[in-house]
Homo-oligomer: A and B are copies of this chain.
C-alpha cells in the first residue's frame, strides 16, 4: 500500500520516520508545504484550503491512506478531509491523546507544543472531556533549536529546563509532545522530566493508531515533495530521516 503524509513543513518528517521504522514494506509519499509554513498563525479557513490542496495532490499520487502530520492542520482540517475523501484519514492529535489516556495513572497530563497549538486548546479540550487534568506549556524555542540541529548538550538542556520546570512541579505522570518537531528533543526532555513521567510522542502514537489499516506492499519507495526550497531543507531531511534523500519541488494549484 501507499501512505500519504501532509505537513506544513519538515516537522511531519518525524511521523514519516516513525512510520517507516514500523512499516518498512510500505510505500510513502510526503508533502511539506514549506512555501506557506507555518500554519499556526493562519486562519482556520486558510489552513483547510491548504490542507485540501495538499490532500488532493497526495490522492493523485495514488495513496490509500492519508495522515495529516501537522498539529494545526489536524486541528482544523481533519473533519473536512474525512468528508471529502473516501480513503482513511488520520491526524496526529487523536492518536497522541488516546495514547496518553492509556498511559496516565494519576490522570494528570502535560501538553507541550507551539504557541498556536497550546492556545488552540485542541489537546486540552479532548483530554478534559475524558476527565483529565491538563497542564499546557508553549515552548517557542524548541522548533528553532531542532531546526538548528541542537538536539542535545548544554543549550538544549537549559532550554528544556527553562520551559519544563513549571510542569515538573505539577505532579503529571504523562507528557504529550504536541508538536511534530519535538520527538527530536525527546531524549533531553525525558532526562529532564525523570522516570516518573512517560513522554508520549505523537509520531509513534500515530504509527500505532493506523496499524489496523496497514498492508505490506512488498516495496518500500519514498517520494518527498516540498512546495519551496529552504536553505536548511537537505540538512533537516537528513537530520530527521537519518539519511540524505532527494526531494522534488511542487507547485500546488492555487484555488483562490
A231 CB contacts on chain B under 8 angstroms: 115, 119
Give the contacting residue for A144; candidates B144, B155, B158, B230; CB below 8 A.
Answer: B144
Tell whether, in the assembled complex, residue B155 and residue A148 are in contact, meaning their CB atoms are under 8 Å apart.
no
Top 5 nearest A-B pairs (CB, nearest first) are A144-B144, A155-B158, A115-B231, A141-B144, A140-B148
CA distance A144 to B155 in the complex (A): 14
Tallying the copies of this chain within the complex gives 2
Please provide the chain A residues from 205 to 240 with a CB less than 8 Å away from any CB of chain B in the complex: 228, 230-232
Tell whether, in the assembled complex, residue A158 and residue B148 are in contact, meaning their CB atoms are under 8 Å apart.
no
Please provide the chain A residues from 19 to 41 with a CB less than 8 Å away from any CB of chain B in the complex: 41
**In the complex, A145 has a CB within 8 A of chain B:** yes
Q: Could you write out 21 A-B pairs with CB less than 8 Å apart?
A: A41-B228, A41-B230, A115-B231, A115-B232, A119-B231, A140-B144, A140-B147, A140-B148, A141-B141, A141-B144, A141-B145, A141-B148, A141-B150, A144-B144, A150-B162, A154-B158, A155-B155, A155-B158, A155-B159, A155-B162, A158-B158
A interface with B by C-beta (< 8 Å) = 41, 115, 119, 140-141, 144-145, 147-148, 150, 154-155, 158-159, 162, 228, 230-232
CA distance A150 to B115 in the complex (A): 16
Across the interface, name the chain B residue whose C-beta is closest to A162: B155
A148 CB contacts on chain B under 8 angstroms: 140-141
CA distance A16 to B67 in the complex (A): 45
A119 CB contacts on chain B under 8 angstroms: 231
Across the interface, name the chain B residue whose C-beta is closest to A142: B144
CA distance A234 to B144 in the complex (A): 22
A144 CB contacts on chain B under 8 angstroms: 140-141, 144
